[in-house]
Amino acid sequence: MPKKNTSTDTSQLQIPIDQQEQTQLDISQLEQWLLHAANTIRGASDAPKFKDFILPLIFYKRLSDVFDDEFSKQIDEYGDEETARGIIEADHEDALKKERQPIVRFYIPEIYSWDKLRNHAADGHLGEFVTEAMREVAKLNPLLLGVLDVQDFNVTQSGQRTLDDDRLEALIEVLSEHRLGLQDTEPDILGRAYEYLLRKFAEGQGQSAGEFYTPKEVGELMARLIDPKPKTNIYDPTCGSGGLLIKGMLQYLKTHPDDKSQAPHIFGQELTPTTFAMAKMNAFLHDFIDSKIEIGDTFRNPRFVSKNAKLKQFDYIVANPMWNQKEYDEKFYSEDHWRRFTYGTPPTSSADWGWVQHMYASLKTDGQAAIVLDTGAVSRGSGSKHSDKERDIRKKFVENDLIEAVILLPENLFYNTTAPGIILLLNCKKPEDRKGEMLLINLSLHFEKQKPKNVLTDEGIGLCKEVYDAWESREKLSSVIRLEDAQKTDYNLSPSQFVDVGETIEHRPMNEILADLSEARIAREKADTALEDVLRELGL
């Protein structure tokens, strides 16, 4: 096949003339371009089915373009391409042995450059070559293991390629329209475009989207509420594609733009290999290279453990665990090696308060957590005459003054359910003026109807943060309650119990109502008399 006009000609390492004057891609351009690339496979409706092919290719394009930029700098320094490549290769090997940072972020051999992918011979083996390239590059860059090497671009179903070479070539060609190098787009902009694409894929995947994506605006609200401080760490034990961790980091960078060197470190664990890969890509595209994201079942095998074989503890936790998991029996909780469930054994019907206890056990003594849960997590069991496991655990959290706030979200925000959720805020060391109190916030009316899901409004996010900072009761929005208030509702902490957002009903005095009825009766009688007179004159 004829050689195509490349975005980076690796033989000369120069950007083509038609792209040399390209200004940095803004967020709108990136979003539309990446969405167009996704839709080239089979159109907008089918694109989400191919996200596990599309996302690694976007990531690989960024890696390759950044490497070419860094390679060009080495050529400028050492005078020729051969010398520069030799120095990069030697430095890369030495850096791996000594576990230090190499002079380039990620090493891409010339044989596996983006240019080679784009111009691979049309011999029916493009999928094999792309798979080989990603796996070999992952081996050379251990940070990319489990990230680039998880997808087989030559995979078949019922004897047919899932993504044939023609569509794969078309996708690569669209992605070649723009560079994604160091001077072409900021990491934050590229990361935001990546998350935009994740949202688009979530919109097309229905309920399964809840496994990897929490709505962006929910993550932004959680980040603003915890508001990370310098030199801290943020943990998500069910991190999905990493959105909640990323939002926490971006909140810090927004409030501390001149103190990036003291930025928090992020830690996450994810069960599903392809979703784990998305989380790593998400972090790297945002330039959070030192993020620690592990793969595995957090509940059964937490990966972040301290030297004394205890759970590592964090300053902040943000999480949206799967709601009402049923695969954990009483034996699992009672024999827990990590001694996480000291406040009680959750019912087999829902692991919600098991997750809350895992997160509490993973917090430092002054740590804070923001956890998305089903609304039932803060109300189930209350009012029952019999003992209830969830109510009893909730009671202990309240009595130990660990629950700082509960925020009721609007319905139909999440991709795996139309039900509203809540954000449960834990605070292991409340400020003095908040001790013994909880803030309940009702955001159920603060949404915009969109397709396929509603969206929490910016106004709602702002109001929530405002009353949280002010720690105040506000009509139709929030209520500060104390232990005795929670006891009256048998530890039902649903904000709708304490914050009425309906129209106010005015109850009038009975004598006024009777007087109005009397006037109406008299008026009706006069009208009847007048009508009879008219009918009589007409002879009817």
Q: Residue 47 has what pLDDT?
A: 78
Q: Using the predicted structure, report yes or no on whether residue 500 has a pLDDT greater than 80.
A: yes
Instruction: Write out the two tokens for 30.
Output: 């990136």
Phi-psi region of 296 (alpha: psi -120 to 50; beta: other; left: phi over 0): left
Q: Residue 1 has what pLDDT?
A: 43
Q: Residue 510 has what pLDDT?
A: 65
The lowest-confidence range among 219-228, 290-299, 515-524 is 515-524
For 69-106, how does the pLDDT look when each residue is reduced to its tens digit (9 = 90+)? 999 999 999 989 999 999 999 999 999 998 898 999 99
Q: Using the predicted structure, report yes or no on whether residue 20 has a pLDDT greater than 70.
A: no
Q: Using the predicted structure, report yes or no on whether residue 485 has a pLDDT greater than 50.
A: yes
> Cβ(421)–Cβ(372) under 8 Å?
yes
Q: Give dist(CA 162, CA 413) in Å, integer.
A: 31
Q: Residue 21 has what pLDDT?
A: 46
> Cβ(488)–Cβ(398) under 8 Å?
no
Q: Residue 205 has what pLDDT?
A: 77
> Cβ(279)–Cβ(239) under 8 Å?
yes
Nearest to 269 by CA among 207, 334, 358: 358
> Cβ(493)–Cβ(440) under 8 Å?
yes
Q: How large is the greatest C-alpha to C-alpha distance in the chain, in angstroms?
A: 117
Q: Residue 122 has what pLDDT?
A: 64
Mean pLDDT, to the nearest integer, of 493-500?
95
Q: Residue 7: which residues within 8 A CB-CB, separation 6 or more?
A: 15, 16, 19, 65, 114, 115, 176, 177, 178, 179
Q: Residue 331: which residues within 8 A CB-CB, separation 6 or more?
A: none
Q: Residue 66 has what pLDDT?
A: 95
> Cβ(409)–Cβ(444) under 8 Å?
yes
Q: Give dist(CA 132, CA 153) in Å, integer.
A: 9
Q: Residue 426 has what pLDDT?
A: 98
Q: Using the predicted structure, report yes or no on whether residue 16 has a pLDDT greater than 50.
A: no
Which residue in the block uniquely carries the two structure tokens 């023609």?
Answer: 166
Nearest to 346 by CA among 338, 361, 356, 337: 356
Strand 265-270: give its sheet, edge to edge: 292-295, 265-270, 233-236, 314-319, 363-374, 421-427, 403-408, 437-442, 478-482
The mean predicted confidence, pLDDT, of the chain is 89
Q: Residue 514 has what pLDDT?
A: 66
Long-range residue pairs from 332-339, CB within 8 A, at least 24 positions apart, any chain: 338/302, 338/310, 338/311
Q: Using the predicted structure, report yes or no on whether residue 413 has a pLDDT greater than 70.
A: yes
pTM for this entry: 0.86
For 345-404, how does the pLDDT look when each residue is reduced to its tens digit (9 = 90+)? 999 999 999 999 999 999 999 999 999 999 999 999 998 888 899 999 999 999 999 999
Residue 10 banded pLDDT, cuts 50, 70, 90: very low
Q: Using the predicted structure, report yes or no on whether residue 491 has a pLDDT greater than 80.
A: yes
Q: Is 11 exposed, middle or buried (0-12, 13-18, 19+ CB in 10 A)?
A: exposed
Q: Using the predicted structure, report yes or no on whether residue 7 has a pLDDT greater than 60.
A: no
Signed CA dihedral, 41, 46, 48, 53: sign only? negative
Signed CA dihedral, 198, 203, 206, 210: sign only? positive
Instruction: Write out the two tokens for 225.
Output: 């509420």
Instruction: Write out the two tokens for 231.
Output: 């030199």
**369 SS3 class:** strand
Q: Residue 495: which residues within 8 A CB-CB, separation 6 or more?
A: 406, 407, 408, 422, 440, 441, 442, 479
Q: Report the relative pairing of strands 421-427 and 403-408 from DSSP bridges.
A: antiparallel
